[in-house]
Structure 1
Amino acid sequence: MDATTRRLTRGLVAATALALAVSGCSSSSGSGSGAAASQSAIPRAGAEDINPQPLENVKDGGELRIPLQQWIDQWNPYQVDGTYGDSVEIMKMIEPLLFRIDSSGVYQPVPEFLQSAKVVSTTPQTVLYTLNPKAKWSDGKPLSYLDFKAVWQAANGSNPAFNTSTTLGYNQISDVSQGDDPTQVKVTFSTPFADWQSLFYPLLPAAGIGTPDQFNKGWVEQVPITGGAFKLGAADKSAQTLTVVPDPSWWGAKPKLDKFTYRVLSTAAMTQAFLNNEIDYASAGRADSYSQLAADKDGVIRSSSPWDEVHISFGSNGPLASQQVRQALEKAIDRPALVKVANQGVPVQFPLLGNHLLMTNQAGYQDNSGEWGKYDLAGAQKLLTAAGWQDAGAGKPRTKDGQPLELHFILSDGSPQQSVDLATATQNMLLQAGVKIDIDKVPANDFDEKYINVGKFDLAMWRNTGSFPPALVIPFYQAPQGDNVFQNYSKLSTPEIDSLLKQASQTLDPAQAAKLYNQADAKIWELGHTVELYQRPYVTAYRKGLANFGSAGLADFDYTKVGWQK
């Protein structure tokens, strides 16, 4: 991984990557020569690169060794501290995943959990789910409307004691009830919600989230109830390793692998761990790692274009409480120059990103950065002067009321050199405008919980990943409610942005929804919330022979099919 990855689940949580690293999650078609690897490293919009193999070509048994960026404390993906990308991905293995997104970004029902799901009425919008009668929780209870109802009640914002990561969609539901029989679930909306398939993703059991205490604390360092093809195996916090193993009570096709083993590694250590045959994939999205990994005879490079953006977020305290100051920082940052820093030495283009809500290969995308995304040093200096920060001379921070304009850029101490280079380049750019930047490295395991989640930063850089469909990005920019900031760690928003995002999420016409999202995005740029840098392709080295897994683009994996090619 390269930039801290904060990943929200693609249906509930969106994806936040906290480090500038790429956790290569996807699949590939790959042979293993160097020439083939370099050809594979050309991302294709909407494509996946996972070496797809029929099950008869995949061995029974074996292990997949996966790097983790940080230890997982909170497993509940609906809880505000549970949105870390790797934990969300594991929860999609061990809890019911009603839909699986395909490589073109379309939700497909997962038959082991869902026989059908459809909108049966539009006035009001009503969705009828028909569950697989074989689907059950690890405590023996069948999946039912009670589980949907518990998720809705916990996540709809009506009880602030449930510290939820987002209320989006859930706060538009008016009722959850049983249909004609116990396998049917009827969800009725008070206002339309276009991305309804992104809800209950994954589904959690009513028995595990029924009270605020269960919801907030019951999934810390444990998963009390599972409902998928896999379950957690051993977890050793001191060794920073955990395993995911097949659940013998699973009613679907038997998984191919015996075990998934996860190990916490710093980003800098992942390349060497792959070369030492200690893990089975590692990010090749940086020049130093790409050159080593592409030359490894036991690896193959796989790449695709996922929902994955790298940005610099601004805080809202001190000098940054001023919109003029934040806008000045936007103008003082040369985005194309930073993209060149990130892209150097990797033969895959990192597209400059002009949108907070949509990726460059996503329907409806347009560049809304305008004057705020364009490098304009003189304009930045003018804004700072207007905000009361006086020029103190070249190479010196501006001052106001005798205080220097000094800000802190928070960086994980596990970040790779690429992230350090980006932060340093930003530091140099902002000094030209009279803004002194201190780069503060903090422990990787504290980056989220003690800094980002609580808004303790002036500038910080991370990746949001897997935030598809666009409604899932809304919690990054919606207005906080009391102590709940959702995933808007900058705590910056406006009623106009809130209203446009809400309208977009309720608009069933995709073209009209995209228009509203783009209007909101232009206002987010104007607010000075976040400077978008680039859409990051998954460029990752995988162990040769790994099948049905790799660089998946927009798609979800079917982990029961992942294994080693015969």
Structure 2
Amino acid sequence: MRRSKAVPAFALLACATLLVGACGSGNDGSAGQGPMQNSDPGKIGGQDELFKRPKVDDIGDIAITVDEGFHDYNNNLGASNNFANTTVLSNVQPSPYITDLIDGKFVIKIDGDLMESIKVTSTDPQVIEWKVNKAAVWSDGKPIDCDDFYLKWLAATSKATVKGEDGSEATIFDTSPTGYENIEKLECSDDDKTITTSFFKDKPFADYRALFSQPGGDSLLPAHVLEEKTGVADITKVLPAQNDETVKKVAEFYTKGWLGFDASVALSGGPYLIESSDLKDQTVVVRNPKWWGEKPSAAKVVLKTNTDAQSAAQQLQNKEVVVIAPQAEAAVAQQLRGDSAFAVYAAGGQTYEHVDFNMARPLFKNNKELRLAVAQCFDRDDLVEKLVKDVDENAKPLGSFTFMPNEVGYEDHYTDLGKGDVAASKKTLEDAGWKQGGDGIFTKGEYRASFKLGHKTVQRRADTVRILQDKCRQAGIEIVDDQAADFND
């Protein structure tokens, strides 16, 4: 999979290839002139720079190629969260914080079109004041306001649960509580344009920029639409502690009413709105006529899905599209670099390849040493060398789960793992009582060091699994390739 840090994807793609002059930073619009993000935004009065979208030239209609189609308008759910959704929604759903690019470094800034300010007003307890631009409205003309923030907080902190088939309980909103559960109360004022989040005295949240914002994997949804569809008069009167029919109605719409695409409920609070989508092969976004800021450059962007990188390159060469963002395939990079008609941009972005252990499975839950052994036998350098170096010669394995190498604050914390160290991997298992069987695979009691590694049907993913299988097999760990077209739909 690719983990998203939620950069406005098609905006950056257009900037990288077509509109370099329109992608500057700072108040004067010139690259590298604005201040970096506040290194200590948690102090009283601390806030980041406001970024307002600059005036840009009108380039009419364009088409671009993406490697996975848009699926769902609500990308805040565990069941739907997907970078393919972020690609579209980053320019549709409002986000108090956005990501800018300054001198090759991604910098978090306040969306100055959406927000007047975001300030720390107290540190004991931590209190953050969010002021929404008075002009900010949804595409139906209704204001973007405190109700939208409250809905996100409610969904993340609701105590109402549902039982799964295995008897376990989960939140009925299927939404991560991280950071939001630290908020003791969320208050509305100033005609609902000011939101005050007061954190529990002993639970400040340093990464408050991630709340309500796409850099944290979230975004705001139109609460008034949910109120209209559920008959709930005022969402701010529904409390996180409630577990009644009212909150169940809210959760029912929140988790199902915004799935897929329905123009009547999939409103925009950004520069573009979704005109149409077949949720697979093509999605069309157009300028939002209710957008109050500078109008975006393209009047219409058609996002065409093509999972075959070489075919996407052919589309570019045939001038069917103006931008492609394929998997990092060496053959495609070489093909396009050999054609003087095209500029190839290859650099680290805001997504990363990762393998996740399913901790609901006893094999991983009960055997920490197996998880470590896998991390030791994975050969990340070999992955980069074989799959990425021909595309970006400066690429290196990622060393952080929090920062990207092109972000302020990045440090490599994992230089000792992912080295394809067969001996270390085997020793880890042997020291924990695992025995190597006649087939070469380690076992321990009821457990066998064998598991499936699932991924979407994309050649580069299969190549990744093949490389990971090699050293791990030598270490007595069996990885079975398990790909599916609908892997993360």
Taking structure 2 as the reference length, the TM-score comes to 0.74
Matching residue's letter, 1:7: S
Identify if the C-alpha distance between structure 1 residues 296 and 31 changes in structure 2 by more than 3 Å, giving closer, same or farther.
farther
Render the CA deviation track for 1:365-414: whole Å, top value 9, x for unaligned.
43333654444322322333344543345x74345569864322223222
The match for 1:428 is 470
**Structure 1: runs of 5 or more not aligned:** 16-21, 33-45, 48-52, 450-566
Deviation at 1:216, TM superposition (A): 0.2
Contact 2:363-2:447 at 8 Å conserved across structures: no
Q: Which residue of 1 aligns with 2:212?
A: 200
Query: How far apart are 1:154 and its partner, in Å?
Result: 1.2
CA separation of 1:71 and 1:192: change in aligned 2, threshold 3 A: same
Alignment match, 1:27: 15
Check conservation: 2:149, 2:220, Cα contact below 8 A: yes
Give distance in 2, aligned partners of 1:433 and 1:227. Answer: 52
Contact 2:141 2:290 in 1 (8 A): no
> Structure 1 residues 144 and 333, CA, compared in 2 at 3 Å: closer, same or farther?
closer
- The 5 Å alignment of 1:13-412 reads 25=13, 27-28=15-16, 55=55, 58=57, 60-104=58-102, 105-160=106-161, 161-190=171-200, 191-201=203-213, 202-209=219-226, 211-223=250-262, 224=265, 225-237=267-279, 240-268=281-309, 269-282=311-324, 283=326, 285-316=328-359, 317=361, 319-321=363-365, 322-369=367-414, 371-392=416-437, 396-399=440-443, 405-412=449-456
Give the secondary-structure state (helix, strand or coil) at the position aligned to 1:203.
Answer: coil
CA 1:166 to 1:385, structure 2 compared with 1: closer, same or farther past 3 Å?
Answer: same
* C-alpha deviation, 1:55, in angstroms: 4.4
Q: Deviations over 1:414-469 (max 9, x none)?
A: 233xx3333212212112122233222211xx2114xxxxxxxxxxxxxxxxxxxx
1:330 and 1:61, CA in 2 relative to 1: closer, same or farther beyond 3 A? Answer: closer
CA distance in 1: counterparts of 2:442 and 2:84, whole angstroms? 41
Going from structure 1 to structure 2, the CA distance change for 1:392 and 1:102 (only over 3 Å counts) comes to: same
Counterpart CA distance in 1 for 2:97 and 2:146 is 17
Deviation at 1:289, TM superposition (A): 1.0
Partner of 1:454: none
Work out whether residues 329 and 430 of structure 1, in 8 Å CA contact, stay in contact via their aligned partners in 2.
yes
Q: 1: distance between equivalents of 2:139 and 2:282? A: 23
User: What SS class does the counterpart of residue 336 from structure 2 fall into?
Assistant: helix
SS where residue 455 of structure 2 aligns? strand
- The 8 Å contact of residues 186 and 196 in structure 2, kept in 1 or not, is answered as yes
- In the alignment, structure 2 segments of 5+ residues that lack a partner are 21-34, 37-52, 162-170, 214-218, 227-234, 236-249
* C-alpha distance 143-379 of structure 1, shift in aligned 2 (>3 A): closer
Provide the rounded CA distance (Å) in 1 between the counterparts of 2:140 and 2:331.
Answer: 48
Q: Distance in 1 between matches of 2:406 and 2:427?
A: 35
Question: Could you say if the C-alpha distance between residues 94 and 373 of structure 1 is closer, same or farther in structure 2, counting changes exceeding 3 Å?
Answer: closer
Whole-angstrom CA distance in 2 between matches of 1:23 and 1:54:
13
Deviation at 1:301, TM superposition (A): 1.5
Q: Structure 1 residues 297, 369: CA separation in 2 closer, same or farther (over 3 Å shift)?
A: closer
Which whole-Å CA distance do the structure 1 matches of 2:71 and 2:473 have between them? Answer: 38
Q: In the alignment, which residue of structure 2 is the partner of 1:413?
A: 457
Q: How does 1:504-515 map to 2 (within 5 A)?
A: none
- Displacement of 1:61 in angstroms is 4.5
Q: Distance in 2 between matches of 1:409 and 1:196?
A: 34
C-alpha distance in structure 2 between counterparts of 1:296 and 1:25, whole Å: 19
Question: Cα distance 1:79–1:106, how it changes in 2: closer, same or farther (>3 A)?
Answer: same
Q: Deviations over 1:284-330 (max 9, x none)?
A: 73211110121233321224443333233333435434112222222
**Given the superposition, is the C-alpha separation of residues 76 and 392 from structure 1 closer, same or farther in structure 2, using an over 3 Å criterion?**
same
Give, as a single letter, the amino acid of the residue that structure 2 aligns with 1:204: L
Highest relative contact order (Cα 8 Å, sep 6+), 1 or 2? 1
Cα deviation for residue 347 of structure 1 reads: 4.6
Whole-angstrom CA distance in 1 between matches of 2:397 and 2:296: 39
Q: Deviations over 1:15-49 (max 9, x none)?
A: 9xxxxxx99747337899xxxxxxxxxxxxx99xx
Amino acid at match of 2:300: K
For the structure 1 residues 166 and 397, does the alpha-carbon distance in structure 2 shift closer, same or farther, using more than 3 Å as the test? same
**What is the DSSP-based 3-state SS (H/G/I as helix, E as strand, rest coil) of the residue aligned with 1:290?**
helix
Alpha-carbon distance change, 255 to 368 in structure 1, aligned in 2, over 3 angstroms:
closer
Query: What is the SS of the residue equivalent to 2:345?
Result: strand
SS of the residue 2:90 aligns to: helix
Partner of 1:448: 488
Mapped contact 1:74–1:81 kept (Cα < 8 A) = no
Shift, 1:361, TM fit: 4.3
Residue identity matched to 2:188: Q
CA contact (8 A) 1:27 1:302 kept: no
Residue pair 2:268, 2:288 contacting (<8 A) in 1 also: no
User: 1:169 Cα deviation (Å)?
Assistant: 1.8
1:439 equivalent in alignment to 2:481? yes
- Other structure's SS at 2:315 match: helix
Identity %: 26
Does the aligned pair in 2 maintain the 1:8–1:84 contact within 8 Å? no
* Conserved? CA contact 1:63–1:257, under 8 Å: yes
| RMSD of aligned residue pairs (Cα, Å) | 3.3
C-alpha spacing 1:420/1:133, structure 2 compared with 1 (3 Å): same
Equivalent position of 1:483 in the other structure: none
Paired residue total: 411
Paired letter, 1:358: F
The CA deviation at 1:172 is 1.4
| SS of match in other structure, 1:438 | strand
Aligned residues of 2:450 and 2:477 also touching (Cα < 8 A): yes
TM-score (norm 1): 0.65
SS in structure 2 at match of 1:233: strand
- Supply the AA of the counterpart residue of 2:468: T
- 1:116 is paired with a residue whose SS is strand
Does the residue aligned with 2:355 lie in a helix, a strand or coil?
strand
